[in-house]
Structure 1
């Protein structure tokens, strides 16, 4: 996914990422691990529409100008793997706690990254990196990777992977809302409409969980 980020645009990348919950649901369904019920499928589509509405600012022109290139295709492959990750968490678990399972995933992921990235890591002048780059690396390692993986592990053992991934639909809305509080750039009416669609979808999914508990 990071490789795809080199050439993919932020808008197109965000649009591709909205496919993750649907990919999770379809993968679990066709692999026979969990049936994708119509109500859940409808909620996923509703959340996707709301998320895309925010990403493209409610403009059909922005949607039509979407360009899918090599970076987007690579990122899509990463999203598909991310979707499968949520599907296989409960399947491959043999009683390990979420923290142990996360630890194992991170260890083997680090080994794979080192095998493929040993040359650029050696060539990088780490002492000359700016403080912003260092902080970004720590943020990606701790929050965007370790903590995120743990939360996905923890949640996917209690609710379906499809629903876990569906909560990512709230990201564009939270980004827009954070921009209002931190930068004074409050969401537009179009953004709020997308947020309402996302909230409706998530409420529906939460009520479905309560009904099945």
Structure 2
């Protein structure tokens, strides 16, 4: 239950961070900003991992952390690339498949048990999140498009879904540290270096000089909380929950963003937001009840 509550906090932090990103100055390079966020997040993990016996990974573990970092870099890199090429509704429709993908990949790698109840929860949450996306666009189905740009974004969603699956797989085989902070540090460090390399290659580095003090403070906040704390909570949840259950909390992110939007712009409140909100809330409540009523399985014991 503590892992479920941690993932609930994860959704609250991530959902509240999306509106905060809008306060950054225009024209700043997104990949380099993300690399900076990851660097700050990794540094914030250092006090938590220093002195841990197993925080220094073996060579096989380092290779797995590199693949996990590639998953993070792939998702964020593709997401920024797709931001101006894929409609918001299409991105939302593809993103809601991520928990179902995580469940399928987890089944393939033997870290996810067969669970019809969880599949039903994931389906309900996906419908709710998609309904919220439809409400945000005013029900304009013309924005729902699928082409090669959308295919590439879907590849990024697969990479994001693979991250907790690989974490669970590495834990089950005693490759990765049992400490969530150590796993967070190494995956963020690996992902941050890859994103930084992409940023230096494709973005103007001197654009960072346009950052104002408010931008620096906001990036520091996003680095520590929206990246560091959230990835630590995800790794903490992955140690107890299955990949499908961990990623299911991504359905709550658009709901939290909607609440923040209503607080700042109450004139946007309308009945069209209600169906998706109810479905997302029902899915998360059911997931919490399922977590409190079912004993957690040991890592690697999937039945």
Normalised-by-shorter TM-score class: 0.7 to 0.9
Matched, 1:75 2:162: no
Higher mean C-alpha displacement, 130-139 vs 27-36: 130-139
Residues in 2 aligned to 1:59 and 1:136: alpha-carbon distance in whole angstroms = 28
Partner of 2:94: 16
The SS at the match of 2:280 is helix
The SS at the match of 1:155 is helix
The Cα shift of 1:42 comes to: 0.8
The Cα shift of 1:120 comes to: 4.4
Pick aligned residue for 2:118 from 17, 34, 40 = 40
Residues in 2 aligned to 1:59 and 1:142: alpha-carbon distance in whole angstroms = 31
Do the aligned residues in 1 keep the contact of 2:87 with 2:144 (CA within 8 Å)? no
The Cα shift of 1:9 comes to: 2.1
Pick aligned residue for 1:145 from 218, 227, 236 = 227
Gap change, CA 1:63 and 1:37, over 3 Å in 2: farther
Higher mean C-alpha displacement, 62-71 vs 19-28: 62-71
Matched, 1:165 2:247: yes
Gap change, CA 1:138 and 1:121, over 3 Å in 2: farther
The Cα shift of 1:193 comes to: 1.6
Query: Given the two structures, how large is their TM-score scaled by the length of structure 2?
Result: 0.63
Do the aligned residues in 2 keep the contact of 1:28 with 1:34 (CA within 8 Å)? yes
Matched, 1:180 2:262: yes
Do the aligned residues in 2 keep the contact of 1:21 with 1:83 (CA within 8 Å)? yes
Do the aligned residues in 2 keep the contact of 1:49 with 1:194 (CA within 8 Å)? yes
The Cα shift of 1:20 comes to: 0.7
Q: Which is bigger in relative contact order (C-alpha 8 A, separation at least 6)? A: 2
Residues in 2 aligned to 1:169 and 1:3: alpha-carbon distance in whole angstroms = 23
Count of matched residue pairs: 213
Higher mean C-alpha displacement, 27-36 vs 125-134: 125-134
Query: Given the two structures, how large is their TM-score scaled by the length of structure 1?
Result: 0.87
The SS at the match of 2:90 is helix
Residues in 1 aligned to 2:160 and 2:143: alpha-carbon distance in whole angstroms = 26
